[in-house]
Structure 1
């Protein structure tokens, strides 16, 4: 548990830390159970002692009985008292270790030996359960991303050698065999590859990439041996940076966590003072005052007032939320952003790469006098050797061109001319057609997307509309955002205003502005933030939109896996590149907040009731300890629910 508290729960009032000396991980599975041995030993002796008391066994009297219960107490009590002393040395007097030590030693002084052992035993068991739950939550987060390979096959001196990924340099070539993980970020040198990127994006569907495309560390090679040219050092690879980001996220406290920590620091000394008051003040007002009875009530008060269940259940809830989000390909940079995500009521969207794919695709093909297939054969022949994005979109129509073009001539600002199957083929814009006195339909001028016109032997034969296609889940996302309470939606884009308005219309977003520079977007978001009731989130690609991501209440980067700027600037990173994950993030945030506040209400409510009953002499120490452990256990079960919920 030491690693849990040092990395994940810094200064969490040292709650649950009396297990620090046990290394849960060391020695594999066997040592996992060693931490339970002291509690098991104490439990066996306690049960045996209670049986001996009940049967009134002759030898179990006087000193023997005291020694028996002292021995039962030591395995679970000494670590707590040790932590209490360490806390006092560090100037932190009022901790739950002090409360439990006073309560249990007091029980022994009063002769309530079984109760003294039971209080400390169940406290220890509760801590073990809480520690295991925290470790599991932490482990779930880390396991999702800690997929960094331990070795790399790098090409040196004409052969591949196995080295540590840290020793591979930028520009070197690495080989990844079938079933192996990609150890470093790079560019694919092989013709194509099929990769499983589930560890990075949460998507199980294989991703096919082509030569020259980016490859990310942590992907798994599925089909054939591939070669990759390294573009980043190991420490800068996307998976390393994301893992570091997630690990650090747990140390960025939400306002709720910070409040509870401050509350516990004030609450604990107040409880100690009240316990002293319960012991001595009745002497002034009660005629039949019995010191022993009132001390016993004060000890019950101390047991039930232990704040550990309250303090640990809050970060545990946020761990659950962060882990659940990671499983869905959503990375929060801290619990504070997870907390804030559920409060969003105003969402501003970039267009390209956010709600659209950011790549050209054929949207419409219209032919006159030719079949579509024959028309595309002529067009693809002309575009086959072009590297223009529009030409690439056309070439995706089918595997390869059937015809070959000759004498291709580029006409600046207008298009291309070539000879295909002995016919003169013109491919370009309306200016090209007008220059060659070829008439085209008037309604073509009203199309706002890119239009490629084709003429064969001076006869107009058709056109292709090329557009940046909407992402599959874009329309559904807008509907769901409104359903979860996002009242204001706005689109801001650097693309032409006519195209921006058309995309916004398709998505039923009423407010949209195009032709904006990054500083224009910044001004628009700042204007929205002037409304004190607005909680503004901006969703962008994390590069041109970095200033807006930084100034918004919540900055959300789409496809952040491949964007360094996104990881640096955004508060939330959607690794799957799906806008629908914004809705998932909002739902996870709200579920996490609900569970955290349920735990707070449960812990405070039950404790107050039993504290009042204990101070009034209506609850025994047995009821107090069961109430405390029960509250902690219920809080843990409630927090763990986050890992099993479904939001998509």
Structure 2
């Protein structure tokens, strides 16, 4: 049998880091929606705990309206109605009233949207407009619920971009392998990395060679082959055999930790529009309070049949409709939703301010496999320098069936070799970064790239 060789093109691509993921088992903290003082806690979708106050309030409000405006309540004593509406008001009003009190007592900030809504709804109760008071708080709480759902969804998109968190490391000691928290690994520790494990900290390879899946950090589909003494980045996956590395950095200084920090910074970095809204709320809310007072009492100077209750009610309506929550919620939420939606597509903006800059982009240059492609190899064309193309393809696919390399898998999926030929293959040796060497019927067969051919003094034919 003549010596057959398939030459793999040895391509290289520029690499740039994809900042992704959030610490596993640790939720990303969304401190606030810019000028709103809302603290958004992650919620489980449609959890009963979150929905219960809304459902109870809505049920009692509807019940109260039916009893008030239909014949169903004609025999109900009047004192029942205030009690019913107070019960409907309490579940949805409590969080708002609590934040209003905290803002005044702790932050010394009286002029905020929570105080505004609290005063408006309590005033509505005082003048007997119970349904309006409950409806304001209920609608606000429903808006908060959907906002939390959106924030939660965006956060999960960022977390699921790539989960690269490593919690523990296998440290080699005199007493064998000891499991340590990754943050307890010191510079100089020798770590054992099993097949399929992520490298916990940046280090130097002590084993002769190793193959890594670096797609989480670089987007490259082709495994990266490193040799003894070369640097190994945290977050990449060991592919072929158990290896050892010496820690060169602590976890806090490693590539993986820097990526997680970048996620936090991306969420917290505000755009100019968000900062503008924050400034806007500082003077807008006091202005609304002032105008509401004028609406309530100024007409007394020039309205002949001035009635305090009527104009106070109008002032309360003005307070409610002037609440800045729509603005202070929608702007930050829009940016956060944009970051979350992009992360779902594998793209993470390093801050809301960069979303604004996208409007100025006129040219996009892409140079990475996996960015605009799926990063999956496929055979496009088979060229045989000499001999039968079918025989070459059959032989190549048979040899590549022994490898888990992405290119080998592509060839194996393109052509199914004869099982009888596979059974004849012996002495299979996969050389990292080069290809496969084996024997068939006593003859040497090489399937690989330039380096493999050159190591056997085989001339390379280029068109």
TM-score range, shorter chain: 0.5 to 0.7
Gaps of at least 5 residues in structure 2 are 1-25, 367-447
Question: What SS does the aligned partner of 2:234 have?
Answer: coil
* C-alpha distance in structure 2 between counterparts of 1:6 and 1:184, whole Å: 24
Compute the displacement of 1:68 (Å): 1.2
* C-alpha distance in structure 2 between counterparts of 1:83 and 1:173, whole Å: 51
* C-alpha distance in structure 2 between counterparts of 1:462 and 1:61, whole Å: 99
Compute the displacement of 1:160 (Å): 2.4
**Contact kept in structure 2, 1:254 and 1:335, CA below 8 Å:** yes
Asked whether 1:48 is paired with 2:63, we answer yes
* C-alpha distance in structure 2 between counterparts of 1:164 and 1:4, whole Å: 19
**Contact kept in structure 2, 1:10 and 1:251, CA below 8 Å:** no
Name the residue aligned to 1:251: 268
Question: What SS does the aligned partner of 1:281 have?
Answer: helix
* C-alpha distance in structure 2 between counterparts of 1:342 and 1:320, whole Å: 17
* C-alpha distance in structure 2 between counterparts of 1:288 and 1:337, whole Å: 57
Question: What SS does the aligned partner of 1:111 have?
Answer: coil
**Contact kept in structure 1, 2:35 and 2:277, CA below 8 Å:** no
Q: CA offsets per residue over residues 210-252 of structure 1, 9 Å max, x none?
A: 3244432222334443333322211111111121122023322
Asked whether 1:162 is paired with 2:173, we answer no
Matches within 5 A, 1:288-367: 288-326=305-343, 332-343=349-360
Matches within 5 A, 1:158-557: 159-190=176-207, 192-201=209-218, 203=219, 205-212=221-228, 213-326=230-343, 332-343=349-360, 397-401=450-454
Asked whether 1:8 is paired with 2:31, we answer yes
1:265/1:294 CA distance change after superposition, 3 Å? same
* C-alpha distance in structure 2 between counterparts of 1:304 and 1:226, whole Å: 65
Q: CA offsets per residue over residues 282-302 of structure 1, 9 Å max, x none?
A: 333444444333333322222
1:278/1:462 CA distance change after superposition, 3 Å? closer
1:177/1:92 CA distance change after superposition, 3 Å? same
Q: CA offsets per residue over residues 497-523 of structure 1, 9 Å max, x none?
A: xxxxxxxxxxxxxxxxxxxxxxxxxxx
* C-alpha distance in structure 2 between counterparts of 1:195 and 1:462, whole Å: 28
**Contact kept in structure 2, 1:142 and 1:243, CA below 8 Å:** no
Compute the displacement of 1:91 (Å): 2.1
Question: What SS does the aligned partner of 1:9 have?
Answer: coil
**Contact kept in structure 2, 1:254 and 1:336, CA below 8 Å:** yes
* C-alpha distance in structure 1 between counterparts of 2:262 and 2:28, whole Å: 18
Compute the displacement of 1:11 (Å): 6.3
Name the residue aligned to 2:374: none
**Contact kept in structure 2, 1:24 and 1:35, CA below 8 Å:** no
1:291/1:98 CA distance change after superposition, 3 Å? same
* C-alpha distance in structure 2 between counterparts of 1:134 and 1:50, whole Å: 33
Q: Give the TM-score normalised by structure 2.
A: 0.66
Compute the displacement of 1:344 (Å): 5.4
Question: What SS does the aligned partner of 2:452 have?
Answer: coil
Q: Which has the higher strand share?
A: 1
Which gives a bigger RCO, structure 1 or 2 (Cα 8 Å, sep 6+)? 2
* C-alpha distance in structure 1 between counterparts of 2:31 and 2:217, whole Å: 22
Name the residue aligned to 1:140: 157
**Contact kept in structure 2, 1:73 and 1:117, CA below 8 Å:** yes
1:33/1:179 CA distance change after superposition, 3 Å? farther
* C-alpha distance in structure 2 between counterparts of 1:199 and 1:462, whole Å: 34
Compute the displacement of 1:332 (Å): 4.5
* C-alpha distance in structure 2 between counterparts of 1:34 and 1:65, whole Å: 27
Gaps of at least 5 residues in structure 1 are 350-394, 405-419, 421-460, 465-648
Q: CA offsets per residue over residues 437-492 of structure 1, 9 Å max, x none?
A: xxxxxxxxxxxxxxxxxxxxxxxx9999xxxxxxxxxxxxxxxxxxxxxxxxxxxx
Count of residue pairs brought into register by the alignment: 354
Give the counterpart of 2:50 among 18, 23, 35. Answer: 35
**Contact kept in structure 2, 1:165 and 1:183, CA below 8 Å:** yes
Give the counterpart of 2:92 among 76, 100, 105. Answer: 76
Name the residue aligned to 2:125: 108
Name the residue aligned to 1:128: 145
* C-alpha distance in structure 1 between counterparts of 2:249 and 2:304, whole Å: 80
Question: What SS does the aligned partner of 1:115 have?
Answer: helix
Q: CA offsets per residue over residues 130-150 of structure 1, 9 Å max, x none?
A: 123223323433443663211
Q: CA offsets per residue over residues 39-62 of structure 1, 9 Å max, x none?
A: 222122112222222234245332
Compute the displacement of 1:306 (Å): 1.5
Q: Give the TM-score normalised by structure 1.
A: 0.49
The range that moved more, 171-180 or 250-259, is: 171-180
* C-alpha distance in structure 2 between counterparts of 1:327 and 1:209, whole Å: 29
1:261/1:165 CA distance change after superposition, 3 Å? same
**Contact kept in structure 2, 1:283 and 1:289, CA below 8 Å:** yes
RMSD, aligned CA: 3.6
Compute the displacement of 1:303 (Å): 1.5
